[in-house]
Chains A and B, each alone.
Chain A
Amino acid sequence: MRPRIGTYALLIAGSLVSVFPFVWMLTTSLKTSREASAPEIDLLPQTLQWANYTNALYAAPFGVYFYNTLIVAFTVMTSVVITSLLAGYAFARLEFRGRNVMFAFLLATMMVPFEVTLIPNFLLVRDLGWYNTYAALIVPWCASAFSIFLVRQSFLALPNDFFEAARVDGCGHLRFLTWIAAPLVKPSLVTIALFSFLGSYNSLIWPIVVTSSEDMRLIQYGLTIFGSETGVQTNLLMCASTIVILPTVALYFLTQRTFLDSALNAGIKG
């Protein structure tokens, strides 16, 4: 296939649409508030106003929002990786009665849309006394049917010999799972870690519903509140958006090779 100029031209035009809002966000975040609100099409600021970032951080308790969000996102991510690894292994590599029934149950929970469970889960969490606590934000998300499914698929894709050799050598299931099997499915684990981190970092409706006080708020809700306050200057708002976007973009760049090249492929085809 010959690369053609037209192909590149179309791709560049399309990627400009993808990226332009972020470029505008960055340049606007470094403008003075007069430049940012002036009715002129000037993309670049006169001088870079780095102080905007510290001003934005002081304008709302973003430190608290970040602290809460990172605690929630890291706990959920770690738990999802562990629970999915254990369950995926059991579904792929153990023979026991009721396995297929439980797997069907798992697939069924994958199809329940979250809005149906929103109200009952709120009532449940309230009755458990978890309203406005970390437990409400974390525990319901510590297992994921999709992630279990993905791990199971990658265990099934491994050759049987690995498992039999280890059994013959007298290695128990738990040791085998921890030291041999888990490293072999690392791409899937990285993928589910990334997805579950993004999921809880970007979640909005559940944190709004189960928390009430300022000190329990997560970053996305914090940003919507900051954005809907009247009188917030555009440049500061763009600083806040940049700060919110940065961690996920960084995480994506760190993991993209593993996750794009091997895991998504395996997940879709498996």
Chain B
Amino acid sequence: MSALVRFVDAGLEGLDIILDRFHRRQGVIGALLLSPSLIILGVFAFFPLLYAIYISLFDTRRGIYNGAGNYLRAFNEPEFWRSVKVTFYYAIGTVPLSLAISFTIAWLLFRIVFARSFFRTLYFLPYVTSAVASATVWRALLRPQSGLINLLLINIGIEPQKWLIEPRGVLNILTDGMIPPAIGPSLALCCIIAFDIWHASGFMIVVFLAGLSSIPKQLEEGARLDGASTWQVIRHVSLPLLSPTIFFLLIVSAIKSFQSFNSFYALVSAPGDDTQNLIVYIYAQFYQNQRIGYGAAVAVLMCAAIVLLTIVQWRFVGRKVHYE
């Protein structure tokens, strides 16, 4: 082993001597060190963005230039708008709820000493397991016939549900048909939302814990001495001091919620109108319909929406963030 180390060291020393010829020019060393990363990112991340815009201008099936045709077509396609709606329901369902739930758990975890890291490990577990494998488990639990969840519901006298294959709106089910079934997210979509909150909150909990541990203890203790209630401490001390963390998680999870694919694909094998988000729609255009140019156009629109959303959050929410 030490022979190998010496061999490698000699090689590095040789390279260093050659590089030292350019002693005053760190640019040569810099270029050498950066080139592997920059070439790969340039070819497979930056160039494709420009290429996507280029091919979105073509009718790829007939191989002719199409101008803004693909974009206009997307705007006139009801299926496109339905998947936009699903994407928004999904984002509105997952982002605030998972932030609230993970903050609560992190806050509780932070108050205990005994077994803290044990609980943290348990809460983080869903995050490290693949979405496909845990979705397989959820599918079995939510099966309409003889799934465990329905068996439990029957046991306590509630009507069993069709869960992941239920296209009716969840509001329609809850109000016993008062609200038409087409309004609001479907029960199937709500199951996907619940799955993703379950699957992703471990990451948020860990980040919140890191944020909480950076708050000076004296602030909270001082507020308590002044007679502040638990809720007042959270509202006026913890949350404002955590605002950079919350803001970071808000931006990241909002972007991620637009890109969710694995859980949709793994939970619903044949997506209906109510469970097809934008990325599943793009995938279907590309894979089943071979409409490459059109799929690229929808992807570019989606990218623009993500950038716009991030800017809006940055401008309007970012202003309220307290930095030390």
Supposing A11-B105, A116-B299, A119-B299 touch, asked if A244 and B26 sit within 8 A by C-beta, the answer is: no
Residue of B19, B214, B255, B278 near A172 (CB, 8 A) is B19
Contacts A3-B113, A172-B13 given; does A18 touch B302 at CB 8 Å: no
Contact A120 B125 (CB under 8 A): no
Q: Does A204 lie within 8 Å of B262, measured CB to CB?
A: yes
Q: Name which residue of chain B comes closest to A103, CB basis.
A: B34
Tell which of B55, B207, B278 touches A120, judged by Cβ atoms closer than 8 Å. B55
Give residues 183-218 of B contacting A (CB, 8 Å).
198, 202, 206-207, 210-211, 213-214
Q: Which of B30, B38, B266 has the most CB of A within 10 A?
A: B30
Known contacts being A116-B302, A244-B130, is A18 close to B198, with CB within 8 Å?
yes
Q: Are the CB atoms of A117 and B8 closer together than 8 Å?
A: no
Interface size class of B (residues with CB under 8 A): 35 or more
Interface string of B110-135 (1 = CB under 8 A from A): 01111000011111111011111110
A139 to B113, CA, bound (A): 45
Question: What is the predominant secondary structure among interface residues of chain B facing chain A?
Answer: helix
Shortest Cβ distance from A265 into chain B, in angstroms? Answer: 5
Contacts of A168 in B (CB 8 A): none
Closest chain-A Cβ to B48's Cβ sits at a distance in Å of 4
Q: Is B265 an interface residue (CB 8 A)?
A: yes
A115 CA / B299 CA spacing, docked (Å):
6
B105 and A96: CB pair below 8 A?
no
Contact indicator A7/B151 (Cβ below 8 Å): no
A119–B19 CB distance below 8 A: no
Cβ contact of A15, chosen from B20, B33, B123, B259, cutoff 8 A:
B123
Q: Enumerate A203-247 residues with CB–CB distance to B below 8 Å.
A: 204-205, 208-209, 220, 223-224, 227-228, 234, 237-238, 240-241, 244-245
A35 to chain B, nearest CB (A): 12
- Determine whether B84 belongs to the interface, using a CB cutoff of 8 Å to chain A: no
Q: Is the CB of B151 within 8 A of A245?
A: no
Shortest C-beta distance, B151 to chain A (Å), equals 5
If A11-B119, A112-B303 touch, whether A227 touches B139 (CB-CB below 8 Å) is yes
- How long is the Cα–Cα vector from A3 to B47 in the complex, in angstroms? 54
Contacts of B16 in A (CB 8 A): 171-175
Contact mask A123-159 → B, CB, 8 Å, 1/0? Answer: 1100000000000000110110100100000000000
**B17 in contact with A119 (CB, 8 Å):** no
Which residues on A sit within 8 Å (CB–CB) of B55? 119-120, 123
B207: A residues at CB distance < 8 A: 264, 268
Give min CB distance, B79 to chain A, whole Å.
17
- Interface residues contributed by chain A, number (CB under 8 Å): 98
Question: Which B159-205 residues have a C-beta within 8 angstroms of A?
Answer: 198, 202
B residues less than 8 Å from A204 (CB atoms): 131-132, 261-262, 265-266
**Among A14, A106, A237, contact of B136 (Cβ-Cβ < 8 Å):** A237
User: In the assembled complex, which residues on chain B have CB atoms less than 8 Å from the CB atom of A75?
Assistant: none
B223 at the interface (CB under 8 A from A): no
Interface presence of A19 (CB below 8 A):
yes
Which listed residue (B9, B37, B140) contacts A84, Cβ 8 A? B37
Per the 8 Å Cβ criterion, residues 1-45 of B in contact with A are: 8-9, 12-13, 15-17, 19-20, 25-27, 29-31, 33-34, 36-38, 40-41, 43-45
A41-B152, A204-B132 known; A17 vs B49 contact (CB < 8 Å): no
Q: How far is the CB of B149 from chain A (nearest CB, A)?
A: 10
Residues 1 to 22 of chain A near chain B (Cβ within 8 Å): 1, 3-4, 7-8, 10-11, 14-15, 17-19, 21-22
The residue on B at minimum CB distance from A6 is: B108
In the complex with contacts A117-B45, A174-B16, A178-B12, A252-B296 CB distance below 8 A: no
Is B52's beta carbon under 8 Å from chain A? yes
B93 located at the interface, meaning its Cβ lies under 8 Å from any Cβ of chain A in the complex = no
Contact with A along B274-288 (1 / 0, CB 8 A): 000011001100110
Most buried by B among A108, A116, A227: A116
Contacts of B112 in A (CB 8 A): 3, 7-8, 11
B140 CB contacts on chain A under 8 angstroms: 28, 234, 237-238
Is B109 at the interface (CB under 8 A from chain A)?
yes
B138 within 8 A of A: yes
Nearest opposing residue in chain A for B150, CB measure = A39
CB of B130 within 8 A of CB of A248, answer yes
What B residues does A1 contact at CB under 8 A? 111
- Decide yes or no: A113 and B198 within 8 Å by CB, A174-B19, A245-B133 being known contacts: no
Specify which chain B residues have a CB less than 8 angstroms from the CB of A15 in the assembled complex.
119, 122-123
Q: Is the CB of A241 within 8 A of B303?
A: no
Q: Are B45 and A113 in contact (CB under 8 A)?
A: no
Set of chain B residues within 8 Å of A121, measured between Cβ atoms? 44, 48
A113-B255 in contact (CB<8A): yes
Q: Across the interface, which residues of B come within 8 angstroms of A253, CB to CB?
A: 121
Query: Are the CB atoms of A112 and B129 closer together than 8 Å?
Result: no
A-B contact pairs, 9 of them (CB 8 A): A87-B37, A89-B33, A102-B34, A123-B292, A145-B45, A205-B265, A245-B133, A248-B128, A269-B210
Other A-B contacts than A105-B41, A119-B292, 16 sampled, CB-CB below 8 A, are A11-B105, A22-B137, A39-B151, A82-B36, A90-B33, A106-B41, A115-B279, A140-B40, A142-B40, A172-B12, A173-B19, A202-B132, A209-B286, A238-B137, A244-B133, A249-B128
